[in-house]
Amino acid sequence: MSIQKNVAAAATAIIGQKVLPGTEREFEKWQEDLNTAAAYYPGFLGAEVSPPTPLQPDWVVVYRFDSVAHLQAWINSATRQTYLDVGARYFDGPATQQVVSSGTQALDPLVTVVVTHRVHPSHVDAFLDWQRHMVEAESKFAGFRGTELFRPIEGLQEEWTTLYRYDSAEHLDAWLTSPQRQEVLAAGEKFSDFKLRTIDNSFGSWFAFEGNGKETPPPPSETRTSLAIWVGLYPTVVLLTLALSPLHLRLWIGLLVGNLLSSFLMSFLTMPYYVNPLLGRWLRPPPDEPAARTDLRGLGIVAVAMVCWAALFYLVTVRFWTLP
């Protein structure tokens, strides 16, 4: 469930909330109304809600604003406080909150861990040195995709916030339970008072454009996203249908098997190796490129690709071969 505007985020708040059992549906509706209210505040860029997962037991709400000042105005607003007073009936304990300020979105489609520390001003240099040792250790583990460190924000957040990312829950667990991590934690005993939250953004890997192995957030435009999926889904489904046709499966089992296979193919083959290279510049245009030019080129590529696929499949299934 998300509300999103087509602009990159400059300040992000990550809020975790445990919800009383049996009130999940009411909480979700209440949260949707709260996010709608946030959309009317200056600088609002988007709001996303993630329900609990095996990795993350809390409901997680992410707010993005174009500046820390605008985010702070929403977080401290009377409107939000009024909603919180009403929604308190659904809460199982107090919420947790982390704020990061960056030119890019704080969360990406990997498994993201958010860690917060309270650091005494006299210990900042030691903390930064300890953090460097932590990054050196975790970067040697399989699946590591990067880390970011954010300083406290005066008037909004007193904690230091660290984000680090892995490509899967299994690789993350290997690091979290490793002897190497325990050694680094023991060396930084004075910083042992921390909070850790894991956020699983499972399907964002459909859109990954960076050449250095890292993944980036999904495209900001829902229309572009839909068209990009269409470009990949059409040939995937047709080719799967042709491949499965000799099995003469009944409709219900054919769709069951076909949907399963198409999901895997889209995630691991079609999107990363066909759609993203083909449409990457349209889905993630350079900031200085005119929008009209970007859209014209992108839509042209979509049209050409789909005409070519349609012509190919017409020839294959009508002229050269007829499905049994």
**pLDDT tens, residue by residue, 69-115:** 888 888 888 888 888 988 999 998 888 777 776 544 444 446 777 78
Q: Is the model's pTM score more than 0.75?
A: no
Report the pLDDT value the prediction gives residue 73, as an integer from 0 to 100: 85
Question: Does the pLDDT value for residue 244 go beyond 80?
Answer: yes
Question: Does the pLDDT value for residue 221 go beyond 60?
Answer: no
Give the count of alpha carbons within 13 A of 157, CB side only.
Answer: 25
Which region among 122-126, 141-145, 256-260 has the lowest average model confidence (pLDDT)? 141-145
Which region among 22-36, 65-79, 91-105, 264-278 has the lowest average model confidence (pLDDT)? 91-105
Q: CB–CB of 110/165 below 8 Å?
A: yes
Task: Give the tens place of pLDDT for each residue, 168-219.
Answer: 777 888 888 889 988 888 888 888 777 776 665 543 444 444 444 344 444 5
Q: What is the mean pLDDT of residues 233-239?
A: 92
Eight-class DSSP state of 269: I
Structural domains of the chain, ranges and CATH numbers in brackets = 1-106 (3.30.70.100), 107-218 (3.30.70.100), 222-320 (no CATH)
Helix ranges restricted to H, the chain? 24-38, 68-75, 78-87, 124-138, 169-176, 179-187, 222-244, 251-265, 276-283, 291-314
Q: 168 or 6, which is more confident? A: 168
